[in-house]
Structure 1
């Protein structure tokens, strides 16, 4: 069971750190034509950018299927990627972008820092000049409280 938990954490961490690199160097690089739909106002519930979620979700499903018979590392890493995806959807799409209007903006210290970092990322709707490409791991400066 300890190995399983370790592989779940590994899958989650792989998503955060590879997601950061993919976001910075591919989505804000050669794949900008797809990702820019996330930086533009939209009246549609679906953005072309959502294709990235389908890609990452597919990788998780494939790993789970490949590892389910033996419950080996592939299964648990796939579960970690899936956990990341579920938390990403809840945090990014529900709380931050309010694509599903279930909750108010975050009031928790940690969630407020993530929210601020994401707001900073969206200050530009251009390919360049964006900051803060991770979701859960963001620079400390976004957790500082503003002086009143």
Structure 2
């Protein structure tokens, strides 16, 4: 059971780290034509950038499928990536961008810091000049004054 929890955490953390690097160096690099749809205003519910979610979700499903027979590390890493994906949807699409209007924007604490960092990221609508590429791993400066 400890191994299952550990590999799930590893999958979650690797998703944040690789997501940060992919976002910074690929999405704001050679894959900008896909990602820029996320930085542009749209009336549509879906955007071309959603293809990245399908890619990451496919990786999680593949790992779960490959590891389900033995319930080995692949299965649990896939579970960790899936947990990351669910939290990503909740924080990024529901709370920050309000693509689904279930909740109001955060007003205090950790969630407000994440919200502020993402707003700073979207301050630039261009390929270059963006900051704060992670979802959970964001600079401390965005958490200052989050209790007010």
Do they fold alike, i.e. is TM over 0.5?
A: yes
> Is 1:24–2:30 an aligned residue pair?
no
Question: 1:103 aligns to what?
Answer: 103
Question: Deviations for 1:45-65, whole angstroms, at most 9, x for unmatched residues?
Answer: 000000000000000000000
Q: Secondary structure at the match of 2:49?
A: helix
Q: Secondary structure at the match of 1:20?
A: helix
Task: State the alpha-carbon separation in 2 of the partners of residues 94 and 85 from structure 1.
Answer: 13
Note the aligned Cα RMSD (angstroms): 1.0
Question: 1:117 aligns to what?
Answer: 117
Task: State the alpha-carbon separation in 1 of the partners of residues 89 and 112 from structure 2.
Answer: 16
Residues 5, 108 of structure 1: CA spacing in aligned structure 2 closer, same or farther, 3 A cutoff? farther
> Is 1:137–2:131 an aligned residue pair?
no
Structure 1 stretches of at least 4 aligned residues deviating more than 6 Å after TM superposition: none
Which segment is superposed worse, 137-146 or 127-136? 137-146
Question: 2:42 aligns to what?
Answer: 42
Task: State the alpha-carbon separation in 2 of the partners of residues 102 and 141 from structure 1.
Answer: 28
Question: 1:53 aligns to what?
Answer: 53
- Deviation, 1:106, is 1.1
Q: Please list every run of 5 or more consecutive structure 2 residues that lacks an aligned counterpart in the other structure.
A: none
Q: Secondary structure at the match of 2:138?
A: coil
Q: Please list every run of 5 or more consecutive structure 1 residues that lacks an aligned counterpart in the other structure.
A: none
Task: State the alpha-carbon separation in 2 of the partners of residues 107 and 91 from structure 1.
Answer: 14
Task: State the alpha-carbon separation in 1 of the partners of residues 97 and 58 from structure 2.
Answer: 23
Task: State the alpha-carbon separation in 1 of the partners of residues 108 and 89 from structure 2.
Answer: 18
Task: State the alpha-carbon separation in 1 of the partners of residues 137 and 5 from structure 2.
Answer: 20
> Is 1:91–2:91 an aligned residue pair?
yes
Which segment is superposed worse, 39-48 or 107-116? 107-116
